[in-house]
Amino acid sequence: MQHSNIVGQERVVHTLKRTLVSGRVAHAYIFHGPDGVGKKAAAFALARALQCVSLVDGEACNVCGPCSKALKGLHPDIHVLMPTTNDATHDDISARLMALAQDPYVIVDFQRRPTLDGTATSSNKQVYYSVEMVNESLRRPMSFHRVEGEYRVGIILDADKMKTEASNAFLKLLEEPGSKTVFILTTDRIDHILPTILSRCQQMRFDTLSVAEITEALMQRDLVDEQSGPVIARMADGSLSRALDLAGSEELPLVRDEVLSFLRLSFQGRGDVVTSAVDSLSSMGREHTKFFLLVMLGILRDLFLLSGAQSTELIVNVDQIETLSKFVGNLPDARIDYMIEAVEQVSYLLERNVNTRLALIALSRVLSNAMRGDRAEIALSLAS
Ligand SMILES: [Zn+2]
């Protein structure tokens, strides 16, 4: 079954359809918003629609010759670029782009998938666009005559990964757009894009997806049943890519145990035990730690719901209610709001390259205090 269609994002879909019906296509678009909500899906859908020979109400038909080629990642007038490590092979990049063309919600970037099959979970290699990549893979092909399509389309995924030189090379392309040339940039960090690039792009904002939208998409892919669908959808925090990852992951139950044990150890507050838990956690890499914190956030939100008079309908970890209720019962003084705040702060710091190990030790200390009803600051704990 085909999974190329855009899930949700009605406002964006409506605008794109209107553009295609009217034929007033901009030279450049930038699709921005959180990760995993459909920016790539929309970029591919727009590229396909621009080449499609039998548009249906402003949407690609998905069956004509050009659409079929685009869906296989083989259309000669659609050039897709992704940031890479400097030792990535051509075959590896092609395999990733091919997978994306078929399902633009799957995670294939070099940062989160150092190897496409997921055997390596972390890498410290830098992922970026070099000026050579912009020239070789974009400037050259975009300056050729169109092979068979109506437009030449360049899709630049994670455009925030362009270094200054690469940005400037790309800016030159943007400044002298050929006719029937369309660039589509995607990013979840619009603040990292040069203002001179932004000002030449039509900006479209993408929002997080609803639990219902994610559940339905997971069910269509036969990945979940009616019970597990909403659990995973809630945990995914509005990102379908994250949900797909969770649905296919055997890791989730293990990480949940890891989180519960981290909370217990933090409460007991034995420095040596916490340190060895943190060591084993941080040895699994930054991405694992981010996932760990995401799962922890889900559990803390559940604890918050259980500790108050709130409805339990919104609980994510429905299968863990008994354990979680016990937790709440045993810690009547706990300030779960402080705990949530601390996890959010640490997640924020990790995005800014703070040392994982130190951040987790600080987190453990702050959680321990919060479980006794006391407030402590992550920043102060990090500094001490
Ligand atoms: Zn078509």
323-340 residue pLDDT tens: 888 988 998 899 999 999
- Give residue 52 CA to ligand 1 midpoint distance, Å: 4
Could you tell me if residue 90 is inside a domain? yes
The 10 Å Cβ neighbour count of residue 165 is 13
Closest to 13 (Cα-Cα) out of 78, 76, 60, 82: 60
Full residue range of the structural domain in which residue 332 is found: 250-383
- Look at residue 216 and tell me if it is in a domain: no
DSSP string, 45-58: HHHHHHH-SS-BTT
Distance 200 CA to ligand 1 centre (A): 28
Do 294 and 153 lie in a common domain? Answer: no
State the Cα–Cα distance between residues 314 and 328, nearest whole angstrom. 17
Contacts of 187 (CB under 8 A, 6+ apart): 30, 31, 32, 39, 158, 159, 160, 193
Q: For the chain, state the CA radius of gyration.
A: 23
> Which DSSP letter does residue 153 get?
E
- CATH number of the structural domain spanning residue 150: 3.40.50.300
Quote the ligand 1 centre to 48 CA distance (angstroms): 7
**Cα–Cα distances in Å, from 68 out to 63, 81, 183, 200?**
6, 20, 21, 31
55, 29 contact by CB (below 8 A): no
Evaluate whether residue 227 is within a structural domain.
no
| Cα 10 to ligand 1 centre (Å) | 21
The DSSP H or E segment spanning 216 is helix 211-220
| Confidence tier at 52 by pLDDT (50, 70, 90) | very high
SS (H, E, C) 68-114: HHHHCCCCCCEEEECCECCCCCHHHHHHHHHHHHHCCCCCCCCCCCC
The residue among 207, 223, 238 that closes a domain is 207
Is residue 62 assigned to a domain? yes
Among the residue ranges 188-192, 219-223, 308-312, the one predicted with the least confidence is: 308-312
Of 176, 207, 238, the position where a domain reaches its end is 207
Classify each residue of 178-194 as buried b or exposed e, where b means 16 or more C-beta atoms within 10 Å of its C-beta. Answer: eeebbbbbbbbebeebb
64-104 tens-digit pLDDT: 999 999 999 999 999 999 999 989 999 999 999 999 988 99
Q: Which amino acid is at 146?
A: R
Residue 168 buriedness (CB in 10 A; 0-12 / 13-18 / 19+): middle
303 closest CA partner among 288, 291, 290, 314: 314
For residues 42 and 158, state if they share a domain: yes
Find the 56 Cα to ligand 1 centroid distance in Å. Answer: 8
Give this prediction's pTM.
0.77
Residue 6 reports pLDDT greater than 50: yes
Ligand 1 centroid to 59 CA: how many Å? 8
> Is 376 in the same domain as 282?
yes
Final residue of a domain: which of 173, 191, 207? 207
The answer as to whether 4 is a domain residue is no
Q: Distance (Å, rounded) from C-alpha 289 to C-alpha 285?
A: 6
Same domain, 203 and 273: no
CA 338–ligand 1 middle distance (angstroms): 53
Query: From the CA of 70, how far away is ligand 1's center (Å)?
Result: 9
Q: Is residue 340 part of a domain?
A: yes
Q: Looking at the 3D structure of the chain, how many domains does it have?
A: 2
Instruction: Compute, in angstroms, the gap from residue 11 CA to the centroid of ligand 1.
Output: 22
Paired residues of 81 in beta bridges: 156
Domain-embedded: residue 31: yes
Q: Out of 188-202, 225-239, 356-370, which region has the weakest mean confidence (pLDDT)?
A: 225-239
67 and 168 part of one domain: yes
- The helix/strand/coil state of 183 is strand
CATH number of the domain residue 311 falls in: 1.20.272
Which helix (H) or strand (E) is 184 found in, with range? strand 181-187
Mean local confidence (pLDDT), 202-210:
96
CA distance 248 to 319: 18
What is the whole-number distance in angstroms between the Cα of residue 12 and the centre of ligand 1? 20
On whether both 188 and 256 belong to a single domain, the answer is no
Domain assignment present for residue 328? The answer is: yes
pLDDT at 368 over 70: yes
Question: What residues have CB less than 8 Å from 149, skipping those under 6 apart?
Answer: 50, 51, 66, 75, 76, 77, 78
Ligand 1 geometric centre to CA of 51 (Å) = 7
